[in-house]
Copies of this chain bind each other. A is one copy, B any other.
Amino acid sequence: MPTLSSTQLTRISKSLLRAAGTSEEEAETVTRFLVNANLAGVDSHGVVPNLIIYLQGLRSGDIKARAKIEVRMESPSTALIDGNWGFGQVTCSRAMEIAIEKAERSGVGAVGIFNCNHIGRLADYALMAVDKGMIGFIAANCEPYVAPYGGRERVLGSNPLCYGIPAGNERSVVVDYATSAAAEGKVRAVLFKGEKLPPGWIVDSQGRPSTNPADLYEPPLPPERIKLAGALLPFGGYKGYGLGLVVDMLAGILTGAGSSQDMTTSGWLANGVFLMAVKVSQFVPLSDFTQRADRLLDAIKNSARAEGSSGILIPGEPEINERERRLKAGIPISEKAWQPLVDACKQYGLDVQNLMRT
């Protein structure tokens, strides 16, 4: 299992994207988001498998290199953006920049995006706002994998949302998760390990609760192809289901991107996206905000543990710790993930040994 430094992984990813015809800026932006996901330990949103899928998308025309990002509607604190099927990371980071500019002037910026490809991990967009002393919010919808509370049909996406909030001492709170109990990728990981699922993650095709990961899929089982038979369940029952529905309406319907009902289930990764930036100092001085945030976070962190608890985490803390670890120790890439990268380099005539130089 190779272990790559972030510099090595960045060089490979950027070189592949440039070789596939993207602009320097596109290669830089997409790579930054993918490698940041790997550094955070969120490998499902990292370079593999996503870069490989994006390269396919460029070849099939699902992703357009050098696409123009167009503002279709605008007001002092809102914008509606047509991504013209460019890279999701490029469209979405530009959208967050626009939200931040609007929040700088008007206190709040809210931006919707349609014709948008996969944007990847949400946290880094929210953190763009945090870096400017703002609260960032982002929600994305996607194709339906999740049953409503009480149901068994897949009618909602895993519809993730993320809040990023500044705190003191260069800390921040990052609440970033799917509104399903678990993402499909986690079910697949349990399947590969031959283990059982925790209760509450899925129902089978008959709507029966199941802890057998195979019950989520129609045969043949992954990795052959992914066709679902059962459904993922929302986190937290009725409450989490409501939140997932809100995400579909904000990110899918308000933006015109389309709700889960409008999405093809081609497996191609499109996102509707709604995001916001709120300028803290338009309400209270930023230093007051971060001091009070620190007091609250310290009180939580230092509070007594429940029986059997391994500790109390601030949302976002595990990913920050993993980032520090992987910046030093490198990013482990499984053999199954490494081979497609090597193959892609070969396909685009790149010397992988040279890209791996330290």
A residues with CB within 8 A of B: 73, 75-78, 80, 105-110, 112, 135, 147-153, 155-156, 163, 165, 173, 175, 177, 203, 206-209, 235-243, 245-246, 248-250, 252-256, 258-262, 276, 278-280, 282-284, 288-289, 292-293, 295-296, 299-300, 303-307, 309-315
The answer to whether B207 touches A313, judged by C-beta atoms less than 8 angstroms apart, is no
The answer to whether A305 touches B239, judged by C-beta atoms less than 8 angstroms apart, is no
The answer to whether B246 touches A173, judged by C-beta atoms less than 8 angstroms apart, is yes
Instruction: Give every chain B residue within 8 A of A77 (Cβ-Cβ).
Output: 76-77, 106-108
The answer to whether B309 touches A151, judged by C-beta atoms less than 8 angstroms apart, is yes
The answer to whether A207 touches B253, judged by C-beta atoms less than 8 angstroms apart, is no
The answer to whether B236 touches A237, judged by C-beta atoms less than 8 angstroms apart, is yes
How many copies altogether? Answer: 2
The answer to whether B249 touches A239, judged by C-beta atoms less than 8 angstroms apart, is no
The answer to whether B75 touches A107, judged by C-beta atoms less than 8 angstroms apart, is yes
A107 touches which of B78, B155, B163 (Cβ 8 Å)? B78
A313 touches which of B149, B261, B280, B289 (Cβ 8 Å)? B149
Instruction: Give every chain B residue within 8 A of A152 (Cβ-Cβ).
Output: 303-307, 309
Query: Other CB < 8 Å A-B pairs besides A147-B303, A150-B311, A173-B245, 11 of them?
Result: A76-B107, A77-B77, A78-B107, A149-B313, A150-B305, A151-B300, A152-B306, A235-B240, A245-B315, A249-B293, A261-B299
